[in-house]
Structure 1
Amino acid sequence: MGVVTPAEPTYGGKLGPDYAGTVFQGRLNYRVDPAMLAATLPPPFRPKLYGGQGMVGICLIRLRAVRPGFMPSWVGISSENAAHRAAFEWDEGDQVHAGVYVRRRDTSSRLNALAGGRLFLGIKSHARFTVSEAAHISRWPFGVTSLSVVGDVTDGLPASSVFGSLEKASSFFQAGSMGYSATPDPRRFQGMELRCLRWEVEPLAVSSVQSSYFEDRSVFQAGAIVFDCALLMRGIEHEWHGKADLCCAAPAMPNQPLLQKPAACQVNGIAQVTGEASAVTAAE
């Protein structure tokens, strides 16, 4: 593992601009064999474990009225977003820190994509998102990253979840507010922190879930990764705070197919909540 040092941010400002807004977020969580997950993480990151298992997932994020923190909400912009993430730990001096490594971000906002990593926090790829109220699971062609999930708000986590309770799952993910994103420089990771002014998650009882990335046997062997649970956040006021980048002395990178921008990327997230179904699709 290489030496980790804070670095000047790659976007404008000392530690990047601060942003505020409202977030609606669906978190799809998978538990994965720690050794298998470690092979997909770049140094200096290592899997953060719960119950002996690594945790990865995809966030489907609807952002509303996002704007610089000093501006009123009516000037903000809205967008649909998706992020592939993994819970990790890293050492800085004699301290152990925890966060999430985001290997890829997609957004419906061209402005976010163009200015991402400079004016806006996080490097993003532009995607076309289509939102509908029909619970229709689309079939995507071969070679395209895809995701679909159907579920209803419920009272608790599935009995098979490694967390055992909603409270324990909530605490685990709340502790991962620091995020580091992949950049074109394999030794540099762009930092940002999500601060929710109110933290509240609801469990989803998932009847169907499919992810072409997490089901890709060239990345994760059969049986090494299992869907664990899904959580929902609705109408949460939040702030994004830019943090110093992390730099690693070791340039070696493990197998990370999502760092390479594919010719086409489509994300289809379908969540049936309180009797109403909404579908989100994204395509490069």
Structure 2
Amino acid sequence: MPLSLGRMNATIERRMLINYRVDPALAQTWLPDGFRVQVVDGVAIAGICMIRLARMAPVGVPTVLGWGGENAAERVAVEWTSSDGTPSRGVFITRRFSASRTAVALGGRLFPGVHTKAAITSDESPERIALRMTTPTDTVDADVRLSTTLSNSVLGSIDEASEFFRAGSTGWSPASKKGDLDGLRLDTDAWRVEPTTPVHVRASLFDTLPTGSAEFDSVLVMRNVPAVWNPVGNAERGIRV
């Protein structure tokens, strides 16, 4: 198979989606022109994705030569109108972080997605996952127990929440060139999302917002999912930023 720069194979060893309900007017200020927040029951859905990847390599390169590491992204669910007039869904990622020197060095070059350095630690078992991330400006501390049902979420049942995120699997983030965007779409035939019961969750980005602007919603987990990340061009999005 020929080498395909930009398209990346990987295994999602663990992906934690920490979700908040955010005031839509506030969330809209985080977005560039052309995007609008996706509103669910009167709120925007934003949060932090904490993902550990293994065997990540360009399509065409043996996965045994791939790399892995802990990564994170601050994101908000969005909508936009494509060039053909059809509505589209995805997420806008305000910032990407990584504990991997490889991701920091190659993100935005070998594959889309500019990353900045972060310290990320985890303590995991089949029944419980605890994660902590620290950067010069942000901290995330989440401890959850795996569950069988999703409770108290604006996204509804676990099936509804799973479909919500699966339908929004295209992510846009600021590129290395000012004014440009990097686009990536997560594709997998093994999509699986698990609900959790939070023990404690703290995220400075949301906890320090004005009172009433953000409220914790839920934490979802994906584990051991093979995936392909496909680059998405701005022409496909149909919006010039």
Task: Please report the TM-score for the alignment, with normalisation by the length of structure 2.
Answer: 0.87
Summarize deviations over 1:117-140 as a string: whole Å, max 9, x none.
Answer: 111221111233344569889897
Summarize deviations over 1:83-124 as a string: whole Å, max 9, x none.
Answer: 101100112232211111011111122122111111122111
Alpha-carbon distance between aligned partners in 2 of 1:228 and 1:133, rounded to the nearest angstrom: 22
Aligned pair 1:232/2:225, yes or no?
A: no
Alpha-carbon distance between aligned partners in 2 of 1:140 and 1:120, rounded to the nearest angstrom: 24
Alpha-carbon distance between aligned partners in 1 of 2:175 and 2:6, rounded to the nearest angstrom: 18
Larger radius of gyration: 1
What residue identity is the alignment partner of 2:10? G
Check the 8 A contact 1:29/1:57 in 2, yes or no.
Answer: yes
Question: How far has the Cα of 1:183 moved from its partner?
Answer: 2.7
When residues 26 and 137 of structure 1 are mapped into structure 2, their CA distance, relative to the original with a 3 A threshold, is closer
Aligned pair 1:118/2:109, yes or no?
A: yes
Of Structure 1 and Structure 2, the greater helix share is in 2
What SS does the aligned partner of 1:169 have? helix
Alpha-carbon distance between aligned partners in 2 of 1:151 and 1:81, rounded to the nearest angstrom: 18
Q: Corresponding residue for 2:11?
A: 22
When residues 203 and 185 of structure 1 are mapped into structure 2, their CA distance, relative to the original with a 3 A threshold, is same
Aligned pair 1:173/2:165, yes or no?
A: yes
When residues 140 and 183 of structure 1 are mapped into structure 2, their CA distance, relative to the original with a 3 A threshold, is closer
Any stretches of 5+ residues in structure 1 without a counterpart? Answer: 1-14, 251-284
What SS does the aligned partner of 2:10 have? strand
Summarize deviations over 1:3-50 as a string: whole Å, max 9, x none.
Answer: xxxxxxxxxxxx952111110101001111211211222211110122
Check the 8 A contact 2:190/2:225 in 1, yes or no.
Answer: yes
Question: How far has the Cα of 1:207 moved from its partner?
Answer: 2.1
When residues 98 and 113 of structure 1 are mapped into structure 2, their CA distance, relative to the original with a 3 A threshold, is same
* Higher mean C-alpha deviation, range 132-141 or range 239-248: 132-141
Q: Percent identity?
A: 32
Summarize deviations over 1:235-262 as a string: whole Å, max 9, x none.
Answer: 0000011111368656xxxxxxxxxxxx
Alpha-carbon distance between aligned partners in 1 of 2:131 and 2:59, rounded to the nearest angstrom: 37
Check the 8 A contact 2:170/2:185 in 1, yes or no.
Answer: yes
Q: Corresponding residue for 2:140?
A: 147
Alpha-carbon distance between aligned partners in 2 of 1:168 and 1:85, rounded to the nearest angstrom: 19
Question: How far has the Cα of 1:194 moved from its partner?
Answer: 0.6
The equivalent position to 1:187 in structure 2, one of 144, 165, 179, is 179
Q: Corresponding residue for 1:50?
A: 40
* Root mean square deviation, CA, Å: 2.5
Q: Corresponding residue for 1:256?
A: none
What residue identity is the alignment partner of 2:206? F
What residue identity is the alignment partner of 1:68? P
Q: Corresponding residue for 1:263?
A: none
When residues 129 and 194 of structure 1 are mapped into structure 2, their CA distance, relative to the original with a 3 A threshold, is same
Check the 8 A contact 1:61/1:80 in 2, yes or no.
Answer: yes
Alpha-carbon distance between aligned partners in 2 of 1:19 and 1:140, rounded to the nearest angstrom: 26
What residue identity is the alignment partner of 1:46? R
Q: Corresponding residue for 1:201?
A: 193
The equivalent position to 2:66 in structure 1, one of 76, 85, 88, is 76
Alpha-carbon distance between aligned partners in 2 of 1:137 and 1:77, rounded to the nearest angstrom: 20
Alpha-carbon distance between aligned partners in 1 of 2:181 and 2:238, rounded to the nearest angstrom: 6
What residue identity is the alignment partner of 2:144? G
Check the 8 A contact 2:146/2:194 in 1, yes or no.
Answer: yes
What residue identity is the alignment partner of 2:80? W
Higher relative contact order (CA 8 A, sep 6+): 1
Q: Corresponding residue for 1:9?
A: none
